[in-house]
Amino acid sequence: MRVGFIGMGRMGQAMARRLIDAGHDVGIYNRTREKTNPLADAGATIVATVEAAARYGEAVYTMLADDAAVDDVAFQPGGLLQSIPEGAIHICAGTHGIAVIRKLKAAHAARDQVLVAAPMLGRPELVSSGQAGIVASGQLQALERCKPLFDAIGRRTFAAGADPEAATAIKITNNFVLGCAIEAMGEGMSLVRKYGVETGVLYDVMTDGLFNCSAYKLYGKIIVDESYATVGQMATLGLKDADLALYAAGLAGVPLPSGNVWRDRLVGAVAHGDGGKDWAVMALEQARASGLA
């Protein structure tokens, strides 16, 4: 399948490489051209403009960092809205807010284009190994057309219905629950440290019992080892996710008291200069608040 791909950050590179390795014809664009070089060597076609990526195939992926980036790519002169052919599909794979997805949905529909929201569930290394999940929603026919792409990238695609907002809400909520879990682990690690307990002991107790799952194992180990410089999700992007969750909750009239605590820890971490570290650095911020760092 011929497909365009816009956005060569760590996630975008991992996704595009899986498409290439599965035999798809991928035309890639990135504002910083140097980031496309590894994929050119792997067999991708480098295109020079957003317009060229949008017209490369029957679908075009965007994997962009935030709402401002996808809004710019879509609505700039010569951007996606002006360039995608009628009936073609914009697969929006980043973590974005309800408001921008609503805006994109309406704008694409007005031009007889199709929006599919298909955010990824997993860190870049999980995407590279083919073990990440995808949650997808949009027109049923469009989802069927995209199935070979989803199958190439992820281990499972979770069908969320006909409205792109549905997959968006699930992704935001998934990140909310994960972020709160990491924040709670940070609190727990600080609590046991106050009683002279090594954090590794609590980690073993948790992950050998009720919390024996990948999220607690992965992020608990980062907290125990204090390996915050090994970044899967930056704290600044975690803060973006917290803002998206609280905004979505406000629209729907749903209180998220845990979300405010989660966000405050991220704000503190960024204020202390840790915005570029893994978002598990929330545990360090908790340690500071506890007089331990």
User: In this predicted model, what pLDDT tens digit does every residue of 71-104 receive, in sequence order?
Assistant: 999 999 999 999 999 999 999 999 999 999 999 9
Report whether 164 contacts 172 (CB < 8 A).
Answer: no
pLDDT for residue 253 is more than 90: yes
Rounded Cα–Cα distance for residues 139 and 74 (Å): 19
- Domain covering 169-289: architecture: Orthogonal Bundle (1.10)
Among residues 71, 161, 63, 146, which one has the least CA distance to residue 107? 71
Q: Rounded to whole angstroms, what are the CA distances from 178 to 3, 171, 183, 259, 279?
A: 31, 11, 9, 11, 11
- pLDDT at position 33 is 84
Among residues 207, 209, 189, which one has the least CA distance to residue 198? 189
- pLDDT at position 35 is 86
Among residues 26, 24, 55, which one has the least CA distance to residue 39? 26
Mean pLDDT of the chain: 96
Q: pLDDT (tens digit, 9 = 90+) per residue, 176-233?
A: 999 999 999 999 999 999 999 999 999 999 999 999 999 999 999 999 999 999 998 9
Report the pLDDT averaged over residues 265-285: 98
Report whether 18 contacts 124 (CB < 8 A).
Answer: no
pLDDT for residue 293 is more than 90: no
- The pLDDT-based confidence of 34 (bands split at 50, 70, 90) is confident
Q: pLDDT (tens digit, 9 = 90+) per residue, 113-161?
A: 999 999 999 989 999 999 999 999 999 999 999 999 999 999 999 999 9
Residues forming the active site = 171
- pLDDT at position 61 is 98
Give start-end residues of each CATH 1.10.1040.10 domain in the chain: 169-289
- pLDDT at position 66 is 94
- State whether CATH 3.40.50.720 applies to domain 2-161: yes
pTM: 0.94
Give start-end residues of each CATH 3.40.50.720 domain in the chain: 2-161
